[in-house]
Structure 1
Amino acid sequence: MAEACRIILNTTFLPSLHSLHKTHKKVSCSQPFLHKRHPAIQCSISTSSDTKAAAKVSETVPWGCDIDSLENAEALQKWLSDSGLPPQKMAIQKVEVGERGLVALKNIRKGEMLLFVPPSLVIAADSEWSCPEAGEVLKQYSVPDWPLLATYLISEASFEKSSRWSNYISALPRQPYSLLYWTRAELDTYLEASQIRERAIERITNVTGTYNDLRLRIFSKYPHLFPEEVFNMETFKWSFGILFSRLVRLPSMDGRVALVPWADMLNHSSEVETFLDYDKSSKGVVFTTDRPYQPGEQVFISYGRKSNGELLLSYGFVPREGTNPSDSVELSLSLKKSDKCYKEKLEALKKHGLSVSQCFPLQVTGWPLELMAYAYLAVSPPSMSRQFEEMAAAASNKTTTNKKITYPDIEEQALQFILDSCELSISKYTKFLQASGSMDLDVTSPKQLNRRLFLKQLAVDLCSSERRILFRAQYVKKKSLFLLQHDNSYLSVMHSMFIIINCWLVKAFISSLPWQVLNPVTNLFCHIRLVRSWLLC
């Protein structure tokens, strides 16, 4: 399916640029090749609903290769070996899951340590630039790691063979499978039912804002180092797509983020739990297998416990429905503006970092305590205003005790509130899935048709898996409500059945009793019948 990327990403998103210095010394790049640039690349990121923009085919960067191509794989492997990568038990091959991947050449044991990529082959924030002056400028401006690495990738790619990373960059996909390449119209059409749509729009907006910030504060002041024909929105979309799908955070190196050539060819499987890290004893980036592999089998790692939506957002693929134990769907809950205590509740939420509309992750196995706490707050009457603060704190998971809070008097209303939200979301998913079969793709070229079919299938797979979780939550909430509403009736019926059975036993026993004890037993039986009648009333 998609060329899954391979690496665990534990960061939320881009940090904003630090306050920038007002004055900097003039610098010039000593590399004459810097001025030999590729033609300008037009930006195609769109956050508008313009249908013309939606129909436009995205331009690709002039470096890299097709996402399923092996044309540069041999050159990459040779360069890595010549640069210090030890002999490997795996090779890059075309695979069924992930387009390209690392396949076992020999028997690999469970618990075996693989890769051993040395630090000299790892791209990090302190990597040496082909144009040192450009790197020095970004350092002076205290540019954070993410935008710095995005700029570094573009700079090195523009140097082509003059960059030591040319063989690696040539093997990177020219257009990563990333939601950054979806137009606003495509997001609105295919992901309307899913909360991932909002996160995708937010991510595109953040990438665009980061580029504009860099262009305004740095690139425009040093056009000889950062010419617009190279450092533009299209190339930044590419570089951030690479980072989102390939950047790894190494716990044993104090959480340092890095690109790890060769290791980033490993694809994801929900059935494995092994991940990349730096091994201090071998002084290399490694992973330890948690299962054996035979020659010809694809070797996998885990990208972390991510939902199908998160995997689509960063890596551009959706696992088969029901195969991802970490899958979840975000359920949105909102305060009603007609609530008499709307202002007081909103104030309590804001105090704890929450908003009027809040999303909570649902899994097949359950949901967070914060979800129920928010529901309690949403349905609580004015008489419970003193508990608003406690509910909001519990909904934000910032309580010191982190214990489950319960309010029996409003539990039924809270469950109904969550159930209503579930059913509203289910109706949106069902509407999209029913319409997807006859959806007009509104394209004429075969290339665009294939693209739209691919995007639609991704959306169908995602929405099917998310609706499945909502169906489960709906069932559980309905069951909880039913038990809550019929609790007293159930007890009465159980008591009645118990008494009826006992009465039958007494009657059967009476016939064997002597007349001396018959009267007391008869009286007892009458009392039991009276109690039974009372319970059934």
Structure 2
Amino acid sequence: MEEEEGTLESFLKWAAELGISDSQSNSSSCLGQSLSVAHFPHAGGRGLAAVRDIRKGELILRVPKLALMSSESLRKDKKLFLSINNHASLSSTQVNDAIWAAEKATAKAEFDWKEAISLMEELNLKHRLQTFKAWLWASGSISSRTLHVPWDDAGCLCPVGDLFNYAAPGEEEAFNSENAFIDSSCWRNHSSTEQYEVEQIDANLLRLTDGGYEEDVSAYCFYARRNYKKGEQVLLSYGTYTNLELLEHYGFLLDENPNDKAFIPLESEIYSSCSWPKDSLYIQQNGKPSFALLSALRLWLTHPTQRRSVGHLAYSGSQLSPDNEIIVMGWISNNCKAVLKSFVTSIEEDELLLRTIDKMQDFCTTGGLANLPSAFEGEVHAFLENKGSIHGESGSKFLQSRHIRRYMDRWKLAVQWRLRYKRTLVDCITYCIKVIMLVGSLDLVNRNLN
């Protein structure tokens, strides 16, 4: 712990020397005027906390261009630049391929790593930095930490700025931005000075109050996305991500993520019968089918000879008929049930497993694993065997290992994700049943009236 604190202190001292600061005026320190490094055990781990009350839109961190790590800064290192040029097949944006490979196909990742070995040897990198494990770590770091800058297609790494933990972009910000834009249009008949002032306000609001590179100050500037009280964690929106994407790229989940999506298997004919992109056909976090999914299913579950005549209604989001709507909701509900049935474990069993993992982490004992249902036998056995409990250490000594505790954190995240996915499907089934009952009763009333 002391070693880690010493490393952090050295890092912040180095950052201050480069001019990275959370102060709006000149300051010799990196942090302390607006932010401080803090640990949030249940909200992302290490992050940045407010050391004072902060207002929405306020500048909270400035990272000068000279501190940003990009292909432009790479060119200033003659040895590195010449070595990269000698390997024309490696480009500054190729890291995206490496990231994809690391996540989706180990074989492809190993191929990319082997291609880069000669370059790493030429740069005289230490042997431990040339390993496949180090390659995956570097690819993952760039994947999760690269920020967009207008002057470099590969983006940049931003020291200190990458300490912000994530908050999903909320609907409130978008709503406020739209209203601000609409309200400002009422001022177009006023003087040019008034119009300019309104446009400046619009620009600040439409910035999404998170941050970006600003040419006029040659720095990457971060702004508060909302008001913060002293001691609160200051968060940053990286964009819209589902929980699965957050888990894959950043290693965490959000309890409430308005951008989360649950996908269910769909027949290939559904995709061919509509023009909606595949990634738009999903179930929302609250259990409601997406606009595109409903539109596609309404059209697909219509007789092929009638689709052309009702296509405009389906694409506008309209119900085609009571019978069609009931069939659509029944189809979604049945498919959600089929997906839930395909899982080895139930929601209740996953909840039990999470409680057991929590106890194991709190009390450093593996005793609770013996009481789990048989559905977990393979999962638990794999954990114990792969991590050495069966063939080596056991009990509290086993669970006190830092490596094991990290593995348990990842295991817990995986269970949390599948549990949230299952709950979304259950909520969708409930929603579909309610719609079926409502549409059915309204249709019955209309028929009686006629």
Within the alignment, does 1:363 sit opposite 2:261 as a pair? no
Within the alignment, does 1:276 sit opposite 2:211 as a pair? yes
C-alpha distance in structure 2 between counterparts of 1:412 and 1:148, whole Å: 44
Q: TM-score, normalised by structure 1?
A: 0.56
C-alpha distance in structure 2 between counterparts of 1:232 and 1:299, whole Å: 35
Where relative contact order (Cα < 8 A, 6+ residues apart) is larger, the structure is 1
C-alpha distance in structure 1 between counterparts of 2:219 and 2:301, whole Å: 55
C-alpha distance in structure 1 between counterparts of 2:155 and 2:119, whole Å: 28
Which residue number in structure 1 is paired with residue 38 of structure 2? 93
SS at 1:126's partner residue? helix
Q: Deviations over 1:66-101 (max 9, x none)?
A: 9x9433111111111112223342232333333212
Which residue number in structure 1 is paired with residue 259 of structure 2? 326
Cα gap change, 1:212 to 1:319, in 2 (>3 Å): same
C-alpha distance in structure 1 between counterparts of 2:283 and 2:124, whole Å: 42
Indicate conservation of the 8 Å contact 1:332/1:360, yes or no: no
Cα gap change, 1:149 to 1:347, in 2 (>3 Å): closer
Which residue number in structure 2 is paired with residue 261 of structure 1? 159
Within the alignment, does 1:147 sit opposite 2:92 as a pair? no
C-alpha distance in structure 2 between counterparts of 1:290 and 1:346, whole Å: 40
1:195-214 counterparts in 2 under 5 A? Answer: 204-206=103-105, 208-213=107-112
Indicate conservation of the 8 Å contact 2:257/2:285, yes or no: no
Which residue number in structure 1 is paired with residue 294 of structure 2? 372
Q: Deviations over 1:398-440 (max 9, x none)?
A: xxxx633654364432222112122223445693434443234
Q: Deviations over 1:439-473 (max 9, x none)?
A: 34221142465345323321232233333332332
1:61-72 counterparts in 2 under 5 A? Answer: 69-72=4-7
Within the alignment, does 1:476 sit opposite 2:409 as a pair? no
Cα gap change, 1:361 to 1:239, in 2 (>3 Å): farther
Within the alignment, does 1:122 sit opposite 2:68 as a pair? yes
C-alpha distance in structure 1 between counterparts of 2:338 and 2:46, whole Å: 40
Which residue number in structure 2 is paired with residue 46 of structure 1? none
Which residue number in structure 2 is paired with residue 134 of structure 1? 83
Within the alignment, does 1:414 sit opposite 2:338 as a pair? no
Q: Deviations over 1:7-53 (max 9, x none)?
A: xxxxxxxxxxxxxxxxxxxxxxxxxxxxxxxxxxxxxxxxxxxxxxx
Q: Which amino acid aligns with 2:316?
A: K
SS at 1:123's partner residue? coil
Q: Larger Cα Rg: Structure 1 or Structure 2?
A: 1
C-alpha distance in structure 2 between counterparts of 1:270 and 1:219, whole Å: 38
Indicate conservation of the 8 Å contact 1:116/1:283, yes or no: no
C-alpha distance in structure 2 between counterparts of 1:423 and 1:365, whole Å: 13
- Aligned with residue 244 of structure 1, among 131, 137, 143: 143
- Aligned with residue 239 of structure 2, among 304, 307, 313: 304
Which residue number in structure 1 is paired with residue 56 of structure 2? 110
C-alpha distance in structure 2 between counterparts of 1:415 and 1:149, whole Å: 39
Cα gap change, 1:295 to 1:234, in 2 (>3 Å): same
Which residue number in structure 2 is paired with residue 423 of structure 1? 337
Post-superposition offset of 1:352: 5.8
SS at 2:410's partner residue? helix
Indicate conservation of the 8 Å contact 1:334/1:378, yes or no: no
Higher helix share: 2
Cα gap change, 1:114 to 1:346, in 2 (>3 Å): closer
Cα gap change, 1:352 to 1:464, in 2 (>3 Å): same
Indicate conservation of the 8 Å contact 1:375/1:415, yes or no: no
Post-superposition offset of 1:482: 2.3
Indicate conservation of the 8 Å contact 2:47/2:233, yes or no: yes
Determine what percentage of the aligned residue pairs are the same residue: 21
Within the alignment, does 1:461 sit opposite 2:396 as a pair? no
C-alpha distance in structure 1 between counterparts of 2:167 and 2:49, whole Å: 14
Count of equivalent residues: 354
Q: Which amino acid aligns with 1:95?
A: F
Cα gap change, 1:253 to 1:114, in 2 (>3 Å): farther
Q: Which amino acid aligns with 2:50?
A: A
Indicate conservation of the 8 Å contact 2:113/2:132, yes or no: no
Cα gap change, 1:93 to 1:385, in 2 (>3 Å): closer
Within the alignment, does 1:287 sit opposite 2:259 as a pair? no
Indicate conservation of the 8 Å contact 1:219/1:225, yes or no: no
Q: Which amino acid aligns with 1:478?
A: I
Q: Deviations over 1:346-379 (max 9, x none)?
A: 8936x96978x99524232743332124324553
Cα gap change, 1:293 to 1:376, in 2 (>3 Å): closer
C-alpha distance in structure 1 between counterparts of 2:443 and 2:288, whole Å: 26
Q: Deviations over 1:160-191 (max 9, x none)?
A: xxxxxxxxxxxxxxxxxxxx9xxxxxxxxxxx
C-alpha distance in structure 2 between counterparts of 1:278 and 1:455, whole Å: 34
Q: Which amino acid aligns with 1:114?
A: I
Post-superposition offset of 1:277: 0.9
Q: Which amino acid aligns with 1:414?
A: V
Cα gap change, 1:372 to 1:103, in 2 (>3 Å): closer
C-alpha distance in structure 2 between counterparts of 1:268 and 1:258, whole Å: 18
Cα gap change, 1:371 to 1:425, in 2 (>3 Å): same
Q: TM-score, normalised by structure 2?
A: 0.65
Q: Which amino acid aligns with 1:236?
A: W
Post-superposition offset of 1:266: 1.1
